[in-house]
Amino acid sequence: MAKTKTTFFCQNCGTQYAKWLGQCNSCHQWNTIVEEVIQKEEKRSWKQTTNTKRVSNALKINEIPFDKEDKILTKNNELNRVLGGGLVRGSMLLLGGEPGIGKSTLLLQIALTLPKKVLYVSGEESQSQIKMRAERLQNTNTNCLILTETNTQNIFKVIEELTPDVVVIDSIQTLYTEYIEASPGSISQIRETTAELIKFAKETATPVLLIGHITKDGNIAGPKILEHMVDVVLQFEGDRNHTYRILRAIKNRFGSTAEIGIYEMQHTGLREVENPSEILISQKEDNLSGTAIAATLEGVRPLMIEVQALVSTAVYGTPQRSSTGYDIKRLNMLLAVLEKRAGFRLGAKDVFLNIAGGIRVDDPAIDLAVISAILSSNEDIAIPQDFCFAAEIGLAGEIRPVSRVGQRILEAEKLGFHKIFISKFNKVNSSNYTIKIVKITKVEDVFSNLFT
């Protein structure tokens, strides 16, 4: 019998050690080093029978054959956009997200609509459970094969038999390879099974879509090297109490990471949201104080987003500041700017901020809308519904220009807004637009421009 071999792995970053340590030397986390059983056989591949010895030769870059059609377009336009034009042959994609957010639903939906032979391997659900889900999705691709298996060697046997064009794995944490004795979901298993799948993907030019679980603090479970190994890392996020979901690229070797895809979870699966601005702005009868609309950009797509603020007298000694969908530190900074530069006494007030629709915004162009919503709530004067904002605020209280302002103005115009507030330093020719453009320079001018 072979002797059992063990090594120690940091569960946070995947660094390997010969003996146990209290703290990882590489990522400096405490108590993350765990002993795992490994047993490696030297010679192996994803395909046992292959014995090809191909010598790879270097080519001049302009001699490398290049096929523009090399991407497989899915029927899902939001995913195509995030990927930068479809699935690249031989690429590995990792989709991460909280439990129940809809990862399995998204990939099953894609598998069911792809005009290709797809093998959907699930280690989490039974075939009949997947069938039940597919019934809800009301899509039946007769070319989609469902396999429930967790052993990679068995999966590769099925793959050899069926030769699918695309492989989906739900999820990487349930897979195990026979060559290693650690339990599924451990660092060494995740690393080995991913390595086997990568080898398979590259050798056969088959795209592999992996689902990955995330940990409590939002990182993909398993070693960080998992993210380095794959070509594309996508994150599926959203508030579980809201129906909107956002698909973001964290890493993409074939396209930009600035694009997002927006979906709505319905009882028949995920619906693509093609015109997000219309749904993110709540339709209301009356003018209410404390809301302002920001003209933001996510990737190349303009998004009109509603910011809601509530300012009230603090009940306790220390005022509360809370924010959903917006960085709390940035909110505190904006409040300090308002206090110092514009003389608004907000130090004794509770301030609550919310971005409607349960989405998270990183575009700094939302700052002016945040300040306007706070002022509107503080003074209890509503901002007219046809006003919108696009500018960043600096520490000196200056209103800073934002990128691609023309695109934002056009979107606001298209959605029927009549006035947009931007920075004076954004070069725009007002005569090109029918919407009224108000240019401001300092944060102390916001109030007078809005309410007088």
The smaller minimum CB distance to Mg ion, of residues 104 and 206, is found at: 104
Contact flags string 219-258 toward ligand TYD, x per CB under 6 A: ----------------------------------------
The smaller minimum CB distance to ligand TYD, of residues 150 and 204, is found at: 150
Within 13 Å of residue 389, how many CA atoms lie on the same side as its CB?
Answer: 31
Judged by CB under 6 A, the residue of 65, 99, 317, 343 near ligand TYD is 99
Q: Which residue has 């660092």 as its token pair? A: 187
Q: Which of 215, 126, 122, 131 is nearest to 175 (CA)?
A: 122
| CA 203/CA 196 separation, integer angstroms | 11
Residue 290, interface with ligand TYD (CB under 6 A)? Answer: no
Counting residues that bind Mg ion (by CB under 5 A) gives 1
Strand ranges inside 39-91, DSSP E: 71-72, 87-88
- Residue range at the interface with ligand TYD (CB under 6 A); choices 69-77, 100-108, 146-154, 433-441: 100-108
- Residue range at the interface with ligand TYD (CB under 6 A); choices 172-180, 186-194, 260-268, 336-344: 260-268
Selection from ligand TYD, Mg ion, none that 136 binds (CB < 5 to 8 A by kind) is ligand TYD
Judged by CB under 6 A, the residue of 105, 174, 296, 377 near ligand TYD is 105
The smaller minimum CB distance to ligand TYD, of residues 146 and 334, is found at: 146
Counting residues that bind ligand TYD (by CB under 6 A) gives 14
Amino acid at 285: E
| CA 350/CA 353 separation, integer angstroms | 10
The conformation of residue 73, written as its DSSP 8-state character, comes to: P
> Exposed/middle/buried for 7, CB within 10 Å: 0-12, 13-18, 19+?
middle
Strand partners, 389: 294, 421
The smaller minimum CB distance to ligand TYD, of residues 268 and 322, is found at: 268
Query: What residues numbered 103-142 form the site for Mg ion, per CB under 5 A?
Result: 104
Residue 133, interface with ligand TYD (CB under 6 A)? Answer: yes
| CA 48/CA 403 separation, integer angstroms | 53
Residue 262, interface with ligand TYD (CB under 6 A)? Answer: no
Q: What sections of 43-102 are H helices per DSSP?
A: 77-83
Rounded to 5°, the CA angle 230-236-239 comes to 155
Sheet holding 33-38, edge to edge: 16-17, 5-10, 33-38
Rounded to 5°, the CA angle 275-278-282 comes to 150
3-state secondary structure of 140: coil
**For residue 342, which phi and psi values (nearest 5 degrees)?**
-115, 0
Contact flags string 40-79 toward ligand TYD, x per CB under 6 A: ----------------------------------------
The smaller minimum CB distance to ligand TYD, of residues 105 and 150, is found at: 105
Selection from ligand TYD, Mg ion, none that 269 binds (CB < 5 to 8 A by kind) is ligand TYD
- 167, 173, 177, 182 alpha-carbon torsion, rounded to 10°: 170
Contact flags string 69-108 toward Mg ion, x per CB under 5 A: -----------------------------------x----
| Count of positions (residues) in the chain | 452
What is the smallest separation between the CB atom of 136 and ligand TYD, expressed in angstroms?
4
Helices (H) and strands (E) in the chain, counts: 11, 23
Residue 121, interface with ligand TYD (CB under 6 A)? Answer: no
Judged by CB under 6 A, the residue of 100, 317, 343, 416 near ligand TYD is 100
Selection from Mg ion, ligand TYD, none that 100 binds (CB < 5 to 8 A by kind) is ligand TYD
Residue 265, interface with ligand TYD (CB under 6 A)? Answer: yes
Selection from Mg ion, ligand TYD, none that 19 binds (CB < 5 to 8 A by kind) is none
Selection from Mg ion, ligand TYD, none that 97 binds (CB < 5 to 8 A by kind) is ligand TYD
Amino acid at 224: K
What is the smallest separation between the CB atom of 167 and ligand TYD, expressed in angstroms?
17
Residue 375, interface with ligand TYD (CB under 6 A)? Answer: no
The smaller minimum CB distance to ligand TYD, of residues 117 and 271, is found at: 271
The smaller minimum CB distance to ligand TYD, of residues 123 and 269, is found at: 269
What is the smallest separation between the CB atom of 270 and ligand TYD, expressed in angstroms?
8
Cis status of the peptide bond prior to 171, with omega within 30 of 0: yes
Residue 268, interface with ligand TYD (CB under 6 A)? Answer: yes
**For residue 400, which phi and psi values (nearest 5 degrees)?**
-95, 150
Residue 376, interface with Mg ion (CB under 5 A)? Answer: no
The conformation of residue 9, written as its DSSP 8-state character, comes to: E
Within 13 Å of residue 78, how many CA atoms lie on the same side as its CB?
Answer: 23
> Exposed/middle/buried for 342, CB within 10 Å: 0-12, 13-18, 19+?
middle
Residue 131, interface with ligand TYD (CB under 6 A)? Answer: no
260 and 305 Cβ atoms separated by less than 8 Å:
no
3-state secondary structure of 247: strand
Residues that bind ligand TYD (CB under 6 A): 97, 99-105, 133, 136, 265, 267-269
